[in-house]
Structures are given as structure tokens and as C-alpha cells.
Structure 1
Amino acid sequence: MALPLDDVALVHNCLEYVMLRMQAITLVTTAYALLGLLFVAFCFSAIGMWHLGYGWHDQQRFYQILLLCACAPLAALLPQAALSGAALLLLAGLFTLGLYSSLLAAWPEWALREWSRYVGLLLLALVASGLRVRAAWEYFILWAMAAVGFIHAYQFLVYYLMAFVTGIRMLDADILFSGFSNPRFFGQFQVMLLPVMALLIEKCRQQRRTAIALLLGLALVTQWCIAFTLGGRGMWLGLLVGHLALLLVNYRLWRILALQVGAALLGCLLFLLLFKLIPQWLELDPILRDNLRAGLSGRERIWQMAWEMALVNPWLGVGPMHYSAVYNPIAAHPHQVVLQWLAEWGFPAAFMALALGVWGLQHSVRHLRAVASNELDAGLWLAILGALVLAQVDGVFVMPYTETWLALLIGIALARWAKPATPLLAQQLACAIVAIPVLVVLGKVLINEAPGLFQDYNVHMGVQRIDGAPRFWSQGWIPNRGVAD
């Protein structure tokens, strides 16, 4: 018996809908798979040197830009958390002022790179926020971070053993770590890594995955040992403020705090064993850093320079990244994120960025106080707040590896803490529009500059005789590059 025409049309429409739905799911899955592959490459950029002639900073910047270029055109197509109208207005004002400042800067091309990178990091955070319904992907990001920390801990112990096996009989703490050109940059990563590793251990304990929890716990203890060996004052400040703040916000999440205290104590004992007892037994004098030295290490000078720039250019600043357009013998960035934004973006943009930060912290506090909050929320809070505190005395928003991980963790936090709602059309349109300059500007850097970067660096070192000062690349002084361009 033949079906009525209306029923045939209904079946046909249903089949079309199913096919379109399957195609959409396939495209989304393919997009996530591509981003996942580039994300893994980014993770491994702090484990091994894959490109001859490149330093750690430049290699990590290369893979960061590659990830942002892939993420930008996909951001408007993939699910994302809904931002409030106030947050959207603040972001629109912030990046509009930043774009105007970039176009008026002395080196617009370099200013647009900084502007595009920040927009790309925002899009990356929004893509990560869309993983609300894909919890497995959220934990994939966190486990990838823990895997990097595990490998670093393993490398640290291997390098320590090699100091004795090779017969050199020299124990220098500065050559026992890998993945970063400076121990301070490693500390920026650790301030986020330690809470993430702790939350994963607590998660494994709840799921009775004892073997994995024990293995990860050993890596966490080793990471604390590395922190006692190489960690700076800013890292300790970030960890301390984050953990004390969590205790004040919600003492019911004390288990993750207790876990960190236990791991820190064991890490301290391991540090005493490796760098005090064993060297004393072998009659060695280890070369260690003074992690709690007094003074600001020249920061007062670069802070003063940033403040003077801000006062001279209060409305739009000197231009994104343009603190590094005026040479000083200390650093190409002021090691203080608020002063950096005041000097380079101007007072209005800096206040908008601060308002967004305050809004985010207030929103997270409300969620942490809720009954449903758990170890994942606690770990994200500790990692993000610790990095923001560290940014007040160090270049967290300059180093590629650090700022990318911070964007990813903020995205996961948005997925956890944002209200379940469909994003406004204005949010999706804005993502599609700003993705174009991000792809053009950063894509041009990848094609035209990255392949010959090490040769360009050697030329500037030979002509200018100025040592590397990391900003965008490891040689961060804009005029030194701009003249050659």
C-alpha cells in the first residue's frame, strides 16, 4: 500500500534532517580533531626542541600562533559559552580601542600582532568554553597538561642522575630543567600546573584509580621539589594567595588544599635529600638559586618607565607591544600586566580589562560557594588566580606557553561556571569578524617570518650586539627588527 503524499514528504524531510545533522556532527568532530592535534603539538613544544636554530620561546610562539590561526576561523562555527551583554560590551570596547591604538602606533604591524594574539587567545578560550557538553575533551586538556608536567618531572630526575653518572661531579640547578629558556618561565607554568595535577589526583582518588593517582602524586611531589629548587618569589606569591583565597571562599574544598600541603612537604623533603644530604655525603657544593632574595631585581625601573609612558599617552597608550620599542637594559616588557596595559593600550582599555577580570573573579566566587562545586572548580580557581597574581610581578601575559594555557583554563572555567544559554547573535558575528584579521596578521607571520627567524636573530645579534629580551620573539626589541624590515 502506497503512503500518502504528505507522509512521503514528511519521511523525506526527516531523512534530510538526519543527513544534515550527521554532516554537522562530522564537521564539528573533524574541527575538534584538528584543534586537538595542533593542541598536542603545542603541548610538546615545551618538551623537546623540534626545530634547529630555534630557542624554547620562539618554538612555543610558533606553535601558539599555529593553534590560534586554526582556532580563529572555527570559533564562530563551534559551540561556545554565552557571555553576558556587559561582558560583550567591555570586550568590544577593549579591542576597538586596542585596534585604534595599533593603527596609530609607531610600528603598526607589530602592534597588530599583539592585538591579534590577544583576540586569538579570546577565541581559543571561547572554543574551550564550548566543551560544556564534551566533558571528555575538558579532561583531555587537563590530562595533557599533567602529562607535560609528568615528563618534566621525569626529565628533572634523569638530569639529576646524569650529573653523577657522567662523572662531571657538578650539580647546577639551572641545567636540571628543560622546556623553557628561564626558570621563571617554568615557574609561570608551574603556578597553573600544580593545582591541575592536584585536582586530577583527587578525581582519581574518588574514582578509586589508585595506581594512576599514585603515579601522578609522585610527579606532583617532584614538581614541588623543582619549585623549591628553581621557583621564584612571584610563583610562591601566586600559589600562596590562590590557596588562602580558596580556603576563605569555600573551606569545604579543603581536601585539595590538604593534598597540596602534603605534596609540598614531601617535595621539600625530596629537595633536602637531593640538594643537601646527597651533595654533602658526596662532598659536592651544589649551585642553587636564591629564590627568596630581597629587592625587586630592577623591576622598579621598568615599572617607572611604564608609568611614565602611560602618563604621556593616557588615552590610547604608545601602542600594543610598544613598550619594547624603547630600549632599556632590563626587559622588553614591564613585568606587571596592569602597567603593561596602561602604557601600551591606555587608561580606558586597561580599566575595561580590569573590569572584565573583576567580573570574572566575582562570578567564580559565587560558583565556588555553591554546594555543587567540586575539586575541578577548586583546581581551576587556584590555577587561574595564581597566574593572575603572578602577572603582577612577571610577564605571564607575554610568554606564549603560559598565556595559551591560561586562556584554555579560563575557557574550561567558563564552560563550568557560565549559565547554560545560547550565545547572542552579536557574539557569534563578532567572533566571525575578528577571526579575519587574526588569521591574516598571524598567518602572515607564520608564512613570511617564522621560517627564517633564527637567521634574522643571528643578524641582529651580530649587528646590534643586544642580547635577547623575550617579547613576541626571543629578540623582542621592535626597532631592531623594524629597521631590518
Structure 2
Amino acid sequence: MKALTPAVLIYSLLALVFTAFCLSAIQIWHQGYGWHDQQRIVQLLLLCAFAPLAILLPQAMLPRFAQLLLIGLFLVGLCSSLFAALPEWALKEWSRYAGLTLAALAIRALARRSTWQSIILWAMAAVGLVHAFQFLIYYLTAFATGIRMLDADLLFNGFSNPRFFGQFQVMLMPVIALLVERCRQQRRTAFAALLGLALISQWCIAFTLGGRGLWLGLLAGHLALLLINRQLWRIVALQAGAALLGFMLFLLLFKLIPLWLGLDPALRDSLRTGFSGRERIWLWAWEMALANPWLGVGPMHYSATYNPIAAHPHQVVLQWLAEWGFAATFIALVLGAWGLLHGARHLRQASSNELDAGLWVAIVGALVLAQVDGVFVMPYTETWLALLIGLALARWSKPVMPSRIQRIACAIISIPVFMVLGKVLISEVPTLPQTVDAYMTQHHTGWTPRFWSQGWIPM
């Protein structure tokens, strides 16, 4: 019997923690922890696994200017953290973003192997398939138990708020669509049909929960795809067909059947036009940015100043301006623009296929949704976004060995990431339910998620 090699142990550890991460949106493991806290804990475990492994795993090289921008970004963020009112809280946010960057770089290298690429995509689709199945089961249970009540907020699982589910869906639905198209091309009819039903069900859920930002993100991503390369129209047509069938299923389940049974389902208003208080938290974020233009108030420190609405601005650019300052935000925007232009350039090539289209729509959709929602706050969605960006980097760049500067920078950054996030797991997680309850009882606050489900930084 052959001994296990270090590489096998590394990959087995990653697979184990990644499986736990996927399952964190399917089943609650401990009643003391809600969905948000459970997903944050597993996210930190995954990032702690990636931190040391980012040094050991083979990396793919970033362009020199991208390396310098990333190093500059995290140096500015580190200074902002050290000068913040509560540096230990700021360093948690800084370490999380640094860990997500290391994870994306590691996935970029791993995804050169088609096995890892398939594992990530199919794992995401499997989570969406389970959610679709649970949604239909919960719908039938409403009648089988004799309750005869249809409340949209009781029919989805895995997230404490339907908006958080929508953040996952904006990336999930393009991934399912690309897998449907791939299975169709490979004549795997049964898998294509199963995934197609899951996609239709996900659209029905989207219409049920009234996700305006989700619809906007998907629309923007698909329109951009058509403008860049019309040859990839099949993905757009597939998504449009699934949306139409999903809307018909929504009408059947929540309009015709309730009308026939004399029920009045409790649904979210899909046609609301207000900002739901966002204009106020946006204004507070902008004022905070103007008052602290150089380094911001510190990562996560928007949630150090209490307001009656939310612990984050629900707008990623304003969040970074307020917390990291103008310089760091500018660097982040330049990096984002470079990534999108790089992806668009690859999409225009004749070799681009359904994988490129699906990754493009998922990433662009998430970035658009981040302009009106907390995509870069919620643990499950921001981690999936980092993983998909890693797949996109692997697909859209040449396999070149990394420079010495990149390896040294990753090694240096991985040390505080592992230490800070590891300390959180050891010192905060065991007593988290009691700490959260005590804070909410003392300060009379509700659930406002940020790092934990009780998102206000204790002052």
C-alpha cells in the first residue's frame, strides 16, 4: 500500500473543507448558529486552508502591474486598519479580503486541471439543485400538512434573507446554464434535463422572492455578452427560455392554484420602486468618505457607527470609499476594470465557448448587483465570487510560472491571514451565540449582518 503524498493530502484537505463550505447553505449544523454565522465560520476555515496552501500549490502568474496594484492595495488597507478606531476588527476584514485573493490565485492554478474546474462548477450546481428541490417540497408541504398558507419567506432555505439568496442566484443561474449547454453538446440528455428543471425552478424562486437587483444583474451580464460576442447567443437564449418557463411556473404555483383553492399567498412586491432606505445609508457612507479621504475610517468600520438601517452601505464602491479611502478604492476599481477588459477580449475570440459565457455573466451579474446590495459582505456569495474569478483567470490567461515577487508577496500575506482568521475561529466562534445575544439584549438592536449576524462592532 502506497503512502499518501503531500500533494494528495493537500488536495484532500481542500476537497473536505470545500464540501463543508457548499453544505453550509443546505443544512444548519448547530441551532445556536444561524445561516450567516455558519457560513462565515466555514468561509474562514476555507480561507485558513488556502492561506498556507497558496504558497505550496503551483500558482499562475499575474501581470507585473496587477501584482504591484494588489500589493499596493493591501498595504494601503493595512495602514487603514492600523489607524482605525478598532484595529482588531479592521484586520478581520483586511484578512478576509486578502484570503479571498489568495483563494482566487490558488483556484486559478488548480483549474488548469479540468477535474478541479468540473468539481467547482458541478458543486455549485448541486447546491442549486438541492435548493430547487427543497423549494418544491416546502410548497407541497404547505398543502399536505393542512396549513394552506403560502408565505414566500418560508419556501426557501440556506439563507436568512431572500436578498442573500438572490446574491447566490445571480452567479448560480449562469453556471447552471453553461452546464446545461455543455451536457447538450455532449449528448448527456438526462443531466441536461435535470439541470434545466433546476434552472427553471430557480427562476420561479427569483420571481417569488421579488429580486429586482438579481434581475438587473442577470440582464446586464447577458446584454454585455451579446454585445461582445453574438456567437454565444445560445447561452442567452437558454437563459431567456428558462426565465419564461420559470415565470409560467410562478404563475401556476402562486396565482392559478391559490386562486383555485381560495388562498391569498404572501408574496414580496416585485414591482416596488423605492430604494428601501438605501439613499440614506449611501449618503452616510459618502459623508464618511469625505471626512476620511486618505485611509477611510478603517475596514469594516462603517458598522462601528450605529444607524437604524444597516451595518453596511449596500453599495460596494461607497463601502470601500468610506472604509478604505479613495486611494485603495481607485486601485480596486482599476483592478476590476482590467479584469473585465481582459475577459471581454477573450470572449471576442473564436475559441470562446459556453464556459467563458457562463463565467462572464456570473461575474458581471454579481458586480452589478453589488452596486445595490452587499455582495462583498455576505460570506457565501463573496467566496463563490472569488472561486469563479479564479476559474475565469485560469481560462482567460496563459499558463506562466509566477515571478519571485508574487511568491514572496503571497507568502507574506498568508501569514497574517492565517493568524488573524485562525484567532477568530479559536477565540470568538465557541462563544458566539452567547456574545450575540448579550449584545442585542444590552443595546436593543436587531439582526443587521456584517461580519457576524449581529453586525455592529461593539464599541
**What range is the shorter-chain TM-score in?**
over 0.9
Under a length normalisation based on structure 1, what TM-score does the superposition of the two structures give?
0.93
2:436 maps to amino acid: Y
Moved more, 141-150 or 78-87: 78-87
CA offsets, 1:315-347, max 9 Å, x none?
000000000000000000000000000000000
Q: Which residue of 1 aligns with 2:297?
A: 318
For residues 408 and 355 of structure 2, the distance between their equivalents in structure 1, rounded to whole angstroms, comes to 31
**Distance in 2 between the 1:362 and 1:338 partners?**
19
**Residues 38-73 of structure 1, C-alpha deviation per residue, up to 9 Å, x if partnerless?**
001000000000012111000000000000001100
Which amino acid letter does the alignment assign opposite residue 275 of structure 1? Answer: F
The 3-state SS of whatever aligns with 1:133 is coil
Give the equivalent residue in structure 2 for 1:368. 347
Q: Does 1:431 align with 2:410?
A: yes
SS of alignment partner, residue 277 of structure 1: helix
**Larger-gyration structure (1/2):** 1
Q: Which residue of 1 aligns with 2:29?
A: 50
CA contact (8 A) 1:75 1:431 kept: yes
Distance, in Å, in 2 between the alignment partners of 1:231 and 1:370 is 36
Contact 2:107-2:390 at 8 Å conserved across structures: yes
CA distance in 1, matches of 2:116, 2:241: 29
Q: Report the equivalent of 1:97.
A: 76
Name the CA distance, whole Å, in 1 between partners of 2:425 and 2:149: 41
Match of 1:202 in 2: 181
1:473 to 433, 436, 452: 452
Offset of 1:278 from its aligned partner? 0.3
**1:120 and 1:435 in contact (8 A); partners too:** yes
SS at match of 2:78: helix
Q: Which residue of 2 aligns with 1:189?
A: 168
The one-letter amino acid of 2:432's match is L
Residue 143 of structure 1 is matched in structure 2 by: 122
Deviation string, structure 1 residues 78-129 (Cα, Å, up to 9, x no partner): 1222100110111011100000000000000000000000000000101100
| Aligned-residue offset at 1:32 | 1.6
Out of 216, 219, 225, the position equivalent to 2:195 is 216
What does 1:110-129 correspond to in 2, within 5 Å?
110-129=89-108
> Normalising by structure 2, what TM-score?
0.99
Please give the alpha-carbon distance, in whole angstroms, between the structure 2 residues aligned to 1:371 and 1:29: 36
Residue identity matched to 1:171: L
Give 5+ residue unaligned stretches, structure 1. 1-21
User: Which one of the candidate residues 363, 385, 393 is aligned to 1:414?
Assistant: 393
Q: Which residue does 1:291 correspond to in 2?
A: 270
- After TM superposition, the structure 1 stretch with the greater mean CA deviation from structure 2, 420-429 or 145-154, is 420-429
Q: Could you tell me which runs of 5 or more consecutive residues in structure 2 were left unpaired when the two chains were aligned.
A: none
Paired residues for 1:439-454 under 5 Å:
439-454=418-433
State the number of aligned residues: 458
1:307 aligns with 2:281: no
Aligned counterpart for 1:161 among listed residues 118, 140, 146: 140
Query: Taking every aligned residue pair, what percent have the same amino acid on both sides?
Result: 72
Instruction: Confirm or deny that 1:405 pairs with 2:384.
Output: yes
Q: In structure 2, how many angstroms separate the alpha carbons of the residues matched to 1:350 and 1:133? A: 31
- Residue 255 of structure 1 corresponds to 234
Q: Give the one of 153, 158, 165 matched to 1:174.
A: 153
Greater mean alpha carbon deviation, residues 140-149 or residues 32-41: 32-41
**Which letter does structure 2 place at the counterpart of 1:280?**
L
- For 2:39, the equivalent position in structure 1 comes to 60
C-alpha deviation, 1:174, in angstroms: 0.6
Task: Kindly report structure 1 stretches of 4+ aligned residues shifted beyond 2 Å.
Answer: none
User: How far has the Cα of 1:292 moved from its partner?
Assistant: 2.4
Task: Give the Cα separation in 2 of the matches to 1:295 and 1:255.
Answer: 34
Q: Deviations over 1:373-428 (max 9, x none)?
A: 00000000000000000000000000000000000000000010112211111111
Corresponding residue to 1:38 among 11, 17, 22: 17
Q: What letter matches 1:220 in structure 2?
A: L
Structure 2 residue 457 is the aligned partner of structure 1 residue 464? no
Amino acid at match of 1:190: Q
Name the CA distance, whole Å, in 1 between partners of 2:83 and 2:111.
40
74-83 or 299-308, larger mean C-alpha shift: 74-83
In structure 2, distance between residues paired with 1:185 and 1:412: 23
Report the alpha carbon displacement of residue 468 of structure 1 after superposing the two structures with TM.
1.5
- Counterpart-to-counterpart distance in 2, 1:168 and 1:275: 15
Aligned with 2:5: secondary structure? Answer: helix
In structure 2, relative to structure 1, the CA distance for the partners of 1:53 and 1:132 (3 Å cut) is closer
2:210–2:269 CA contact under 8 A, matched in 1:
no
